[in-house]
Amino acid sequence: MLLKSDIGIKALLAFCGLMVVCGLGMCDVVINEFELSPPDNGTVWVELYNTGDAAVDLTGWKINIVDKPWEGPILLKGSIEPKGFVAFDGQDTWTATGNGTVFLYDATGTEVDKTSQQSDNSHSDFTYGRLPDGKKTDTRADFAFMMASKGRSNVR
């Protein structure tokens, strides 16, 4: 006979198994695209992509857009599905100069990803994105100046 508490623990273990613990260096989430120079006085935003095979809980995570001396922190919530895309907006009032580096931190404050610095003052529908999605060689060539695809797969 199963006690109720056993069922609860089993459910909890199953749940934990689905979530990747990023503090242990097992994290597969990358900054996949970012818009620092939106058209029509729009809002800056950053898209994340989960390259892994497990959902990742983003509670407590933070994106920080650094455009010295200005910085724009975005606090994250929710989760990101395997091979999924999620985009997070900055604040309407933010006006970046368009010369930005984007950082991603997990709930423990560990840096998970960092982009190269990109410059864009065009205020157009173009953004910087990894092509193909999730490309990560840690060079500037990971990012292409491409048509915006917020929350979707990147296309040239």
Binding site for Ca ion (CB under 5 A): 33, 37, 47, 124, 149, 154
Q: Which residue is nearest to Ca ion (CB)?
A: 149
Kindly tell me which of 47 and 57 has the beta carbon lying closer to Ca ion: 47
Kindly tell me which of 83 and 107 has the beta carbon lying closer to Ca ion: 83
- Stated as kind and residue range, the H or E segment containing 46 is strand 45-50
Parallel/antiparallel/unpaired status of strands 56-57 and 111-114? unpaired
Taking CB atoms within 8 Å and a gap of at least 24, the contacts of 91-94 are 91/43, 92/43, 94/43, 94/44
Tokens (6 digits) for 17? 């198994």
Kindly tell me which of 50 and 154 has the beta carbon lying closer to Ca ion: 154
Least separation in angstroms between CB 82 and Ca ion: 16
Least separation in angstroms between CB 96 and Ca ion: 11
Least separation in angstroms between CB 119 and Ca ion: 11
What single DSSP character describes residue 59? T
Q: Is residue 146 within 8 Å of 124, Cβ to Cβ?
A: no
Kindly tell me which of 37 and 115 has the beta carbon lying closer to Ca ion: 37
Kindly tell me which of 28 and 47 has the beta carbon lying closer to Ca ion: 47
Angstrom distances, CA of residue 114 to CA of 31, 48, 50, 101? 7, 12, 15, 7
What single DSSP character describes residue 2? -
